[in-house]
Amino acid sequence: MRQFFVREIKDVMVLTGDEAWHAAKVLRLKAGSNIQVVSANGQAAEACIVCADPTEVTVRLLSVIERTSEPPIHITLAQGLAKGDKFDYVVQKAVELGVHTIIPLVTEHCVVKYDAAKKQQKQARWQKIAAEAAKQCHRLSVPVVQDILSFSELWMQERPNYTTLFFYEQEDKLGVKQILQQSMQQSFLLIVGPEGGFSKNEVAGARERGAHVVSLGPRILRTETAATSALAIVMYECGDLGGTLCQE
């Protein structure tokens, strides 16, 4: 069942803007089609289309859905900027896996450079990708893609009660699994570097700030593979990726 976002759940709701266009023009949904709607506060419901127009789609509430697709843990992914469409891929897959927030990160070895206007354009594009991915996988909220931050700006944001995992390809003593099996936290900051990895200064800075510098294994992964692998591992060990029984 296709999912759309609305402001609030009520007897009669109206999709406008991109949501209406996507429903009526792209998907060609007609009156009588059933859809799922999700409100700004994360409530889900099944609804039936009454009238479909590219500028406005009116739907009628059928029933409230008593379930959640949001993970029990809170993950923020700080991902180094990458070339081409790699960051688009990371945003899409991170949302599918259950990320809460994504921070585009400028590091010493980033090849990609954006001016102020390009930064705004990219952030808007990534937020749109996040919204589309959230709809596709039936998330009850749209993860936020923050403005692009520098490495120093990342550490200026306070995150109390977070476990910070800094993924470094040259770490050969401490694996991420060891930390996750010891952690009792429900909030995580995952930091993944760009194609060139992190500099020694950045690694030292992460250690000074209490981050766990960890390995994903003996093989060197592409940046987009490292990001999705890290998310999947944390979500499996501490979240709901293995199914609801893993939370019992």
Q: Which two tokens stand for residue 17?
A: 């803007």
State pLDDT tens for residues 4-21: 989 899 999 999 998 999
- Whether residue 104 has pLDDT greater than 80: yes
Contact 31, 50 (CB under 8 A): yes
- The total number of structural domains that make up the chain: 2
- What pLDDT shows up at residue 126? 97
- Are residues 108 and 202 part of one domain? yes
Query: What is the per-residue pLDDT across 157-197, written as a single tens digit (0 to 9) for each?
Result: 888 889 999 999 999 889 998 899 887 789 999 999 999 89
Using the 3D structure, point to which of 43, 65, 87 is the last residue of a domain.
Answer: 65
**Distance between CA 52 and CA 58 in Å, rounded?**
7
**208 plus 135 within the same structural domain:** yes
On the question of pLDDT at 247 being above 50, the answer is: no
Residues 88 and 59 in one domain: no
Q: Answer whether residue 33 shows pLDDT above 90.
A: yes
Whether residue 128 is found in the same domain as residue 57: no
Q: Whose CA is closest to 62, among 28, 96, 36?
A: 36
pLDDT value for 244:
60
Cβ-proximal residues to 167 (8 Å cutoff; 6+ apart), any chain: 176, 190, 191, 192, 193, 214, 215, 216, 226, 230
Domain residue limits at 42: 3-65
Same domain? For 125 and 14 the reply is no
Mean pLDDT across the chain, nearest whole number?
92
- Is 8 found in the same domain as 91? no
Count other C-beta atoms under 10 Å from residue 148's C-beta: 20
Q: At 241, list the tokens.
A: 């990726």
Q: What percent of the chain has pLDDT over 90?
A: 74
Instruction: Specify the CATH number for the domain of residue 188.
Output: 3.40.1280.10
34 contacts 46 by C-beta, under 8 angstroms: yes
Angstrom distances, CA of residue 105 to CA of 98, 140, 187, 194: 19, 26, 19, 9
Q: What is the pLDDT of residue 65?
A: 87
pLDDT at 182: 84
Please check whether residues 82 and 52 belong to one and the same domain.
no
Q: So what's the pLDDT on residue 241?
A: 87
What pLDDT band is residue 69 in, cutting at 50, 70 and 90? confident
pLDDT in tens, 197-207: 999 999 999 99
pLDDT at 67: 75
